[in-house]
Amino acid sequence: MATSVVDGPWTRWREAGLSFFYPETCQLCAGARATAGEGYVCAGCWQRVRFITPPFCERCGLPFPGDLTTPFECANCRAMELHFSSARSAVVAKDPVLDVIHRYKYQRALWFEPFLADLLVRQARPALAGGEWDFLVPVPLHPAKRREREFNQAERLARPLAAATGIPLNTQWVRRVAPTRTQTLLSRPERAANVRRAFALRPGVRLQGARVVLVDDVFTTGATTSACAQVLLAAGAAQVCVWTVARGL
């Protein structure tokens, strides 16, 4: 089992509270011990996680098999108008991570949060170190969706990353102004059309050359993060990159 890189006084209080209500059993396989600090994911399930390592597309982070030794951009990125400079993800969006994300978002299984945050921090913190990034911005939910879900997973996962990197978190700049359909069952063109006018900057926001890291839970086609990046660039951001926990293949 890898040791968590997400820690602090609040984390310890939360772990104590969760341990009071939940047995220290893996919530995926139910067959091994796992603590609140581990997100109730045991060592065996941890070993099934597939971290993303090179080679991958320089633009969208899509991993490729083989021994490619020179930077490359995949065919999908060459065919699309993407507004972020690069996108990276910690792990591949397959089980157990995909199962955890679905339960976290749609069944409010918040005990998985330390596990997901740990994956993101573990990969993103060294990559962002020394990059002179000015702000972390979580992809916002529409107010109606936020009321339904009761939390924004991107914002919650961005907070430990902000604490680990020292990059300030800004949750006020970008609003989701259109109640878009879920992207899950849409084609690539439909996803792009669905979020084309979904985001807006709050009145009066001027970014004046800021370098921004967008944070979300899953990257699939890049339509959502690209639309969000577009409004940040229009407001004066010098560069926008993307970090997510998982990458769809």
Give the mean pLDDT per block of 10 residues along the chain (249 residues): 56 54 85 90 95 94 83 86 96 96 95 96 95 95 92 97 97 86 62 76 91 97 93 96 96
| Model pLDDT, residue 11 | 56
* Phi and psi, residue 178, nearest 5°: -120, 130
- Provide the CATH topology of domain 9-247: Rossmann fold (3.40.50)
The whole-model pTM stands at 0.87
| Model pLDDT, residue 23 | 79
Nearest to 105 by CA among 247, 216, 221, 222: 216
Q: Counting beta carbons within 10 angstroms of the beta carbon of residue 22, is it exposed (0 to 12), middle (13 to 18) or buried (19 or more)?
A: middle
| Model pLDDT, residue 197 | 78
Please answer whether residues 34 and 27 qualify as being in contact, where contact means their C-beta atoms are separated by less than 8 angstroms: yes
The dihedral sign for the CA sequence 213, 198, 63, 171: positive
| Model pLDDT, residue 16 | 54
Nearest to 200 by CA among 140, 156, 115, 113: 140
* Phi and psi, residue 196, nearest 5°: -55, -40
The DSSP annotation for 81-131 comes to: ---SSEEEEEEES-TTHHHHHHHHHHS--GGGHHHHHHHHHHHHHHHHTTS
Which helix (DSSP H) or strand (DSSP E) does residue 215 occupy? strand 211-219
* Domain locations in the chain as residue ranges: 9-247
CA distance 75 to 57: 9
